[in-house]
Structure 1
Amino acid sequence: MKWLLVNPRPDEFSVMGKFEKVMVPFIPMGLAYLAACLEEAGAKVSVYDGFASPGRTLLETAVDYQPQVIGISCLTPTADALKVMVPALRKACPDAKIVLGNIHATLFARELLEQGLADYVVHGEAERTVQRLNAFLEGKGKLEEVQGLSCIRDGQVWTNPEAEPLQDLDSLPLPAWRHFDLDQYIAPPLFAFKKRLLPVLASRGCPYRCYFCAQNVMSPTLRRRDMVKVVDEIEKVHHETGVDLFWFCDAIFPLTQKDAEVFCREMTERGLHKKIQWITETRVDLVDRPLLRMLKQAGLSMVLFGLESGDREVLSRIKQGVTLEAGAKAVAAARAEGVTTLGLFMLGLPGETRQTMEKTIGFAQRIGLDFAKFNRAAPYPGSKFFDDVYAARDLPPWEMFSANYEPKDGEGIVYSPDGVSDEELVRLHKKAFFRFYVRPGLIARHLASGRISPWNMAKGGGLIIKNFLE
Structure 2
Amino acid sequence: MKKTLFLSPPSFNGFDGGAGSRYQAKREITSFWYPTWLAQPAALVPGSKLVDAPPHGQTVEDVLKIAKDYELVIMHTSTPSLANDVKCAEALKAQNPAVEVGLIGAHVAVLPEQTLRDNPVIDFVCRHEFDYTCKDLAAGDPWDQIKGLSYRDPDGNLCHTPDRDLIHDWDVMPSVLPVYARDLDIEKYFIGYLLHPYISFYTGRGCPAKCSFCLWPQTIGGHQYRTKSPEAVGRELTEAKAIFGDRIREYMFDDDTFTIDKPRAIAISEHMKRLKLTWSCNARANLDYDTLKQLRDNGLRLLLVGFESGNQQILNNINKGIKLEAARQFMKHCRDLGITVHGTFIIGLPIETRETIEETIRFACEISPHTIQVSIAAPYPGTELYQQAIANGWFSDQALVANSGIQTSTLHYPDLSSAEIEDAVEQMYRRFYFRPKAIVPIVREMLGDRQMLMRRLREGGEFFSYLKDRRTQAATR
TM-aligned CA deviation for residue 366 of structure 1:
0.5
1:53 and 2:21 aligned: no
Find out whether 1:126 has 2:150 as its counterpart. Answer: no
Would you say the 8 A contact 1:70–1:97 is kept in 2?
A: yes
Identity of aligned residues (%): 23
1:125-182 deviation digits (Å, cap 9, x = unpaired): 22211122223x3xxx433320000112343211000010011011111112233333
Question: In structure 2, what is the equivalent of residue 103 of structure 1?
Answer: 106
Written as runs of structure 1 = structure 2, the 5 A alignment for 1:195-344 is 195-216=196-217, 217-220=219-222, 221-242=224-245, 243-268=248-273, 271-272=274-275, 274=276, 276-285=277-286, 287-344=287-344
Deviation at 1:71, TM superposition (A): 0.6
Determine the C-alpha separation between the residues in 2 that align with 1:68 and 1:397.
39
AA at the equivalent of 2:349: L
Partner of 2:475: none
Corresponding position of 2:64: 62
Query: The residue matched to 1:294 in structure 2 has which SS?
Result: helix
Pairwise CA distance, 1:183: 3.1
Farther off after superposition, 177-186 or 61-70:
177-186
Task: State the Cα distance separating 1:400 from its structure 2 match.
Answer: 2.0
Match of 1:347 in 2: 347
**C-alpha distance after superposition, 1:183-231 (max 9, x if no partner):** 334432233x2x2111232221011111111212111232121011112
Instruction: State the match for 1:87 in structure 2.
Output: 90
In structure 2, distance between residues paired with 1:58 and 1:19: 19
Structure 2 residue identity aligned to 1:237: A
Asked if 1:32 corresponds to 2:34, the answer is no
TM-score by length of 1: 0.88
Conserved 8 A contact 2:272-2:278: no
Partner secondary structure for residue 260 of structure 2: coil
Q: Report the secondary structure of 1:304's partner residue.
A: strand
Q: Which amino acid aligns with 1:117?
A: V
- Partner Cα distance (2:99, 2:397) in 1: 28
How far is 1:399 from its partner? 5.6
**1:299 CA drift (Å):** 1.1
- The equivalent of 1:422 in structure 2 is 418
Could you tell me whether the CA contact under 8 Å between 2:344 and 2:373 is conserved in 1? yes
CA positional deviation for 1:426 = 1.5
Summarize deviations over 1:398-447 as a string: whole Å, max 9, x none.
96258x9537xxxx731233321222222111011111111123211222
The alpha-carbon distance between structure 1 residues 36 and 465, as it changes in their structure 2 partners (threshold 3 A), is: closer
Q: 1:207 to 1:64 in 2, by over 3 A?
A: closer
**Code of the aligned partner of 2:332:** A
Q: Can you list the C-alpha shifts for 1:352-380, whole angstroms capped at 9, x where unaligned?
A: 10110111011001013111111111111
Deviations 1:65-100 (A, max 9, x none): 421111100111111113422221100122100111
- Cα gap change, 1:261/1:64 in structure 2, threshold over 3 Å: closer, same or farther? closer
Q: Structure 2: where are the runs of 5+ without partners? A: 18-23, 472-477
Q: 8 Å contact 2:116–2:151 — kept in the other structure?
A: yes
Q: Which residue identity does 1:378 align to in structure 2?
A: A
Q: For the structure 1 residues 116 and 260, does the alpha-carbon distance in structure 2 shift closer, same or farther, using more than 3 Å as the test?
A: same
* Corresponding residue SS for 1:206: coil
Q: Is the 8 A contact 2:361 2:432 kept in 1?
A: yes
Q: Residue 334 of structure 1: CA displacement?
A: 1.1
Q: Identify the residue that residue 388 of structure 1 maps to in structure 2.
A: 388
C-alpha displacement at 1:117, in angstroms? Answer: 3.4
Secondary structure in 2 matching 1:390: helix
Amino acid at match of 1:429: V
Letter in 1 for 2:115: L
Following the alignment from structure 1 to structure 2, what is the Cα–Cα distance between the partners of residues 307 and 169?
Answer: 29
Q: Pick which of 88-97 and 3-12 moved more.
A: 3-12
TM-aligned CA distance change 1:117 to 1:336, over 3 Å: farther
Partner-residue secondary structure (3-state), 2:4: strand
Mean alpha-carbon deviation: is it higher for 180-189 or for 95-104?
180-189
* Alpha-carbon distance between aligned partners in 2 of 1:48 and 1:218, rounded to the nearest angstrom: 22
2:423 maps to a residue whose letter is: R
SS class of match (2:56): coil
Q: In 2, are the aligned partners of 1:202 and 1:230 still within 8 Å (CA)?
A: yes
Change (3 A) 1:22 1:328: same
Aligned residues: 449
- C-alpha RMSD of matched pairs (Å): 2.7
The offset of 1:448, in angstroms, is 2.2
Report the Cα distance in structure 1 between the residues aligned to 2:108 and 2:174, rounded to whole angstroms: 24
Cα contact 2:380–2:386 (8 A) shared by 1? yes
Whether contact under 8 Å (1:26, 1:185) holds in the other structure is no
When normalised by structure 2's length, the TM-score is: 0.87
Note the C-alpha offset of 1:291.
0.8
The letter of the residue matching 1:120 is: F
User: Is residue 434 from structure 1 mapped to residue 430 from structure 2 by the alignment?
Assistant: yes
Aligned partners of 2:314 and 2:352 also within 8 Å: yes
